[in-house]
Structures are given as C-alpha cells and as structure tokens.
Amino acid sequence: MIFITEVLKYLKDTPNSAYESVKTEFLYHSNKLEGSTFTKENLEKNLQENIIEGSHKIDDVYETINSTQLFDFVVDTLEEPLSKRIMLEFHRMLKDKTFDHERSFAGC
C-alpha cells in the first residue's frame, strides 16, 4: 500500500481513519522482526487505551512505546530529506529510556 505524503498526514489528523490500522499493522510487524514479545492485541491495547498487558522485558516495553511516537514523527517529517541527523534522531527516539540509551548507544 503506497500513500502520498499529504494523504497520510491528512489521515493522521482524521478521527477513525485508516491511519490507526496502518500504524498498528506496521508497528506490529516491524517490532516482531526485532523480536518484540508484544502480540497484536497487546499493541492495540497500548495504542487505544495506553495500557501494557502481558509479560515483557522493560526494554521491549520502552521500544514499543517509543516506536508508536516515532511512527508519528516519521509521518510528520516525511517531506524532510533523509539525512544522517534525522536517522540518528529516529534511533535516539526509538531507544529512549532503554538499556542501549543508558549505555550511550542511542542516536550515535
């Protein structure tokens, strides 16, 4: 599914749009590739009600929370050219409050 930048930004600000479904699907599969222990139901509960269910490592919880915020940030910055600075910012945002962040590996 290919979205034009303006359409994706419009959907982001539109209640009950396909944006939340796209976000949930993307985050679930992206995080699963990285070994996340969150089920799709856990992720949906977090996105819809801000509740963490299940048994997860603390870094997994923070990366899941961070990835939801990062997804919106990426959409907001789609028109910016991809640069080293913005990629490091993406990584810093994803790893915030994790063990990697504490060890100064985030955004480096």
- Assign residue 89 the CATH number of its domain: 1.10.3290.10
Tell me the per-residue pLDDT of 55-87, one tens digit each, with 9 for 90 and over.
999 999 999 999 999 999 999 998 889 999 999
What pLDDT is recorded for position 107?
60
pLDDT range class, residue 1, cuts 50, 70, 90: very low
Question: Is 107 part of a structural domain of the chain?
Answer: no
Quick check: is 7 in a domain?
Answer: no
Domains in the chain, number: 1
Q: What is the pLDDT of residues 4-31, one digit of tens each?
A: 778 888 888 888 888 889 899 999 999 9
What's the confidence (pLDDT) of residue 31? 92
Range of the domain at 41: 18-102
Query: What's the average model confidence in pLDDT over 82-98?
Result: 93
CA 106 to chain centre: 15
